[in-house]
């Protein structure tokens, strides 16, 4: 069974901390994505990657960065966490672009206090 | 810029009733998805609709697409409690990225 695993289910961090959210997929997918999910706003794309060491900004990249050193791992970094980054973060991977065959992780609920 | 509007955002209904969730989008797209999310769980793909007039059905859920009206519907027939979840539509934009609706939280009461 294909899997996208997010390392933490819940995180509580302090304002100003550097935060790492990890995502690992075991499907040999080229494409990986980070979304944030907020009530009433749906999912919004933060960053995505089509290949190792490659990254592209999504719709809301401000305050975030990413790292993809290995094909299976895509990390989201909050350089200096702020309270407005409190949210649910979802990682996804896919073999093809354009929505085909997206597999999502279970999400990380981050609270910044 | 593609925008996706979903309504209603919240729906509480009795078992056995029928209802429809609507998904409007603002510019042309050739692909629309419906996803389901259970509380605390990941998103699960339900349907992909690729062409005008496309209809997909699984169990009590039926999705359709009208590309001319830029409208998709997700129809629930004779709802059962197990269908309680949040349902999202997502539309592919010109950059091959998914643009998501806000989600419809569906609660089905016994």
Whether A43 sits inside 8 A of B42 (CB atoms) is no
Residue A97 has pLDDT above 80, yes or no: no
- In sequence order, the 6+-apart residues with CB closer than 8 A to the CB of B82 are none
Q: Which residues of A3-12 are buried (b: 16+ CB within 10 A; e: fewer)?
A: ebebeeeebe
Q: pLDDT digit string (tens) for A57-67? A: 999 999 999 99
Whether A106 sits inside 8 A of B45 (CB atoms) is no
Q: Which residues of A touch B41 (CB under 8 A)?
A: 106
Residue A11 has pLDDT above 80, yes or no: yes
pLDDT band at residue A1 using 50, 70 and 90 as cut-offs? low
Q: Which residues of A touch B33 (CB under 8 A)?
A: 99
How many Å apart are CA B96 and CA A99, to the nearest integer? 7
Residue A20 has pLDDT above 90, yes or no: yes
Q: pLDDT digit string (tens) for B26-60? A: 998 889 999 999 988 889 999 999 988 899 999 99
Does residue B40 belong to the interface with chain A, where contact is any CB pair within 8 Å?
yes
pLDDT band at residue A93 using 50, 70 and 90 as cut-offs? very high
The CA angle A30-A110-A27, to the nearest 5 degrees, is 20
As a whole number, mean pLDDT of residues B66-95 equals 94
If DSSP codes are grouped into helix, strand and coil, which group holds residue A84? helix
Q: Which residues of B touch A32 (CB under 8 A)?
A: none
Q: pLDDT digit string (tens) for B81-104? A: 999 999 999 999 988 899 999 999
Paired tokens of B104: 């419809």
Residue A99 has pLDDT above 80, yes or no: no
Q: What was the pLDDT predicted at A101?
A: 81
- In sequence order, the 6+-apart residues with CB closer than 8 A to the CB of B69 are none
How many Å apart are CA A51 and CA A44, to the nearest integer? 21
């Amino acid at each position: 069974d294909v899997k996208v695993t997010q390392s933490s289910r819940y995180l509580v961090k302090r304002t100003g901390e550097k935060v790492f959210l990890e995502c690992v997929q075991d499907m040999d997918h080229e494409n990986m994505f980070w979304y944030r999910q907020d009530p009433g706003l749906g999912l919004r794309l933060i960053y995505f990657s089509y290949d190792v060491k490659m990254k592209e900004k999504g719709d809301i990249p401000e305050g975030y960065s990413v790292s993809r050193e290995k094909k299976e791992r895509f990390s989201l970094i909050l350089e200096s966490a702020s309270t407005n980054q409190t949210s649910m973060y979802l990682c996804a991977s896919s073999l093809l672009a354009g929505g085909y065959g997206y597999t999502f992780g279970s999400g990380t609920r981050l609270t910044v206090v | 810029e593609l925008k996706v509007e979903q309504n209603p955002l919240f729906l509480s209904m009795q078992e056995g009733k029928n209802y429809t969730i609507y998904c409007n989008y603002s510019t042309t797209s050739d692909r629309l998805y419906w996803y389901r999310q259970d509380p605390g769980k990941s998103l699960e793909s339900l349907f992909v609709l690729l062409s005008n007039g496309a209809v997909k059905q699984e169990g009590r859920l039926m999705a359709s697409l009208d590309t001319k009206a830029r409208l998709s519907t997700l129809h629930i027939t004779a709802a059962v409690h197990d269908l309680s979840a949040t349902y999202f539509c997502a539309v592919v934009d010109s950059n091959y990225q998914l643009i998501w609706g806000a989600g419809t939280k569906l609660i089905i009461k016994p």
